[in-house]
Amino acid sequence: MTDTLSRRNFLGASAAALAAGALPARLDAIEAPAVILRGASRPVAISSANSLAPVSKALELVLQGSDTLDAAVDGVKIQELDPKDNSVGYGGLPNEDGVVQLDASCMHGPTRRAGAVGALEGIKTPSEVAKLVLKYTNHIMLVGEGAKRFALSYGFKDEDLLTPESRQHWLTWRANRGPNDDWLDVPKGTEMVVRPTGTINLNVVNAAGDLSSVTTTSGLAWKISGRVGDSPIVGAGQYTDNDVGAAGSTGRGESNIMVCGGFLTVEHMRRGMSPTDACMETLKRTLHMTPDRLMGPDGRPKFDLTFYAVNKKGEFGAAGLFPARYAVASEGNPAAFKDCAYMFKRS
């Protein structure tokens, strides 16, 4: 800095320039670069393969004039309330202590607001609670006991979320988890319960091009108590930009968190990629960020991860590390399964 431009003079000149309007008065005047998607939008609901009924319900509500977020949450609630669905909500598989802890997040494109809950116990529909966080608080995420008290204040009931089926899965896992623990082994040859994951991501766009997304899960089965995956993380489990599109994921949450996959997929669409190509590009980034301990000797990941996306025009697509299906419903087309693009064939 020269003698003729002291720090005080520099700051004074900067303040004068700002006052004169040399810089934008509002930060949101600096817009992110985007490919402008012109023309009419096609109403679409796209989701993971465990959501055929939810995408059908979400599209039906959108075509009736419902807000896209309301439609998305009402859609996933079908599975959250289904005791036969072990992936989300009531009947979801518990943590290692036998306690069901649920996660969910949502994002509303038109208002640029988000809400989320993590490690929520005793409440069947975490997606609804996440929406209430979005609508009625200045926060984005509530977790644990605080999230539960928040839900109870709005009239939700504290209920046991373990069904007889999910409890039996947990008891079987506990009996087989190791030869040196304090539990008796089951007879040799007894089929062990696998360690499944279960999640629903649902993204919706209406005819006006307004978008919303929601992701809900019971998380990784037998997880350490308090573990939270990508589902309640805005920008990872799901993300919406009303100028561009919406995206989300199912699969190994930790791997998705490392790349902020929901946000990254939307950013790829912002640059002009199709939804399918955007999902595939995010998977490439995921592999780049995957440590060696999670890769097999054949060079393929030991986990699965799938992304789902829709842009503002209603174009949609999905891609996974391995072959998978997704559910989609669009105006004039009933809910149906479609094949995802993928990177690796299964063994």
Mean pLDDT on 172-200: 63
Q: Is the pLDDT of residue 13 over 80?
A: no
Taking domain 46-341, whether its CATH number is 3.60.20.30 is answered by: yes
Q: Is the pLDDT of residue 139 over 70?
A: yes
Taking the C-alpha atoms of residue 153 and residue 242, their distance in angstroms, rounded to an integer, is 31
β-strands 305-311, 245-251: how paired? Answer: antiparallel
| Catalytic machinery residues | 199
Tokens of 9: 């003079």
Q: Is the pLDDT of residue 156 over 80?
A: yes
pLDDT confidence tier of residue 175, bands split at 50, 70 and 90: confident
Q: What is the DSSP string of 310-342?
A: EETTS-EEEEESS--EEEEEETTEEEEEEEPEE
Mean pLDDT on 259-268: 98
Contact 45, 329 (CB under 8 A): yes
> Which residue's structure tokens are 């069947």?
124
Is 78 in a helix, a strand, or coil? helix
Mean pLDDT on 172-199: 62
- 308-323 pLDDT, tens digit each: 999 999 999 999 999 9
Mean pLDDT on 50-74: 97
pTM of the entire predicted model: 0.86
Mean pLDDT on 49-74: 97
What is the percent of the chain where pLDDT is above 70? 83
Tokens of 290: 């995957």
Tokens of 37: 């998607």
Q: What is the pLDDT of residue 191?
A: 47
Domains in the chain: boundaries: 46-341
Q: What is the pLDDT of residue 5?
A: 45
Residues 6+ apart with CB under 8 A from 54: 45, 47, 75, 76, 78, 79, 200, 202, 327
Tokens of 31: 């817009």
Q: What is the pLDDT of residue 40?
A: 77
Length of the chain: 347
User: Range with the lowest mean pLDDT among 64-73, 180-189, 235-244?
Assistant: 180-189
- 75-109 pLDDT, tens digit each: 999 999 999 998 899 999 999 999 999 999 999 99
Q: Is the pLDDT of residue 132 over 90?
A: yes
Is 219 in a helix, a strand, or coil? coil
Dihedral angle computed from the Cα positions of residues 343, 231, 245 and 35, in that order, rounded to the nearest 10 degrees: -70
Taking the C-alpha atoms of residue 121 and residue 225, their distance in angstroms, rounded to an integer, is 11
59 or 31, which is more confident? 59
- 197-249 pLDDT, tens digit each: 679 999 999 999 999 999 999 999 999 999 999 999 999 999 999 999 999 99
